[in-house]
Structure 1
Amino acid sequence: MKAYYFANKTCRTCKGLWPKVEKLMKENKIELEYIDVEEKPEISGQMLVFSVPTLVFIDEDNKEINRFYRNFGMQEIQAFIDRYLSIMNS
């Protein structure tokens, strides 16, 4: 599983969430990539990202498995990760 964090430089929420998301992904050993929507609009368009912050999870087959956008917290992300990993490990 891999995660993409879409943000921009002027978004205060994006700036505040980034360290928390980064820490959570490290703790769960999930590869994470930061994408600035203003610097890479083509990637944002391809992934249908229309608001920031957006966190998109991709599986091993490069298919989207979940997406969190605008208002989300670390607890709901961790709950998703736990559910996904329990399914994959069973």
Structure 2
Amino acid sequence: METISAIEEYQAKIGQEQSFLLFVKTANCSVCEGLRPQIEAFETDYKLPFHLVNAAEVPELAGQLMLFTAPVVLLFRQGQEIHRFARFVPIEELRRRLDELEGSLNA
């Protein structure tokens, strides 16, 4: 996962990448640390890029995306958020949504 460390980097991703996954975590979040390896394991299965941001380090991004908890997994297509999974992420549902998103890229 590529780390985003400034809101400008996020805005560039929105403008440049057709689709991507954004994993948002915070410092000292045990749920975030438990979920992260599961999300990273999906990276090799999909062509779309995966990005990581620490909301504590980029608080303006958390504000812009209206994030009130962590972890959050966001899926984007053509600059728009299409799915949001917050706090407890159902892994099979996430995989299904990633499959749909990947399928739309290939269509």
Task: Out of 75-84 and 36-45, give the one that drifted further.
Answer: 75-84
Residue 72 of structure 1 deviates from its aligned partner by 1.2
User: SS of the residue aligned with 2:27?
Assistant: coil
Give the partner amino acid of 1:79: R
TM-score (norm 2): 0.74
CA contact (8 A) 1:9 1:15 kept: no
Alignment RMSD: 1.5
Percent identity at matched positions?
25
Number of positions where the alignment pairs a residue of Structure 1 with one of Structure 2: 89
Give the distance between the partners of 1:64 and 1:26, measured in 2 at CA. 22
Task: Out of 78-87 and 66-75, give the one that drifted further.
Answer: 78-87
Residue 88 of structure 1 deviates from its aligned partner by 4.8
CA contact (8 A) 1:51 1:70 kept: yes
Aligned partner (choices 7, 31, 50) of residue 13 of structure 1:
31
1:66 is matched with 83
Point out where structure 1 has 5 or more consecutive residues left out of the alignment.
none
Give the partner amino acid of 1:22: E
CA contact (8 A) 1:24 1:74 kept: no
1:82 is matched with 99
2:41 is matched with 23
TM-score (norm 1): 0.87
Point out where structure 2 has 5 or more consecutive residues left out of the alignment.
1-18
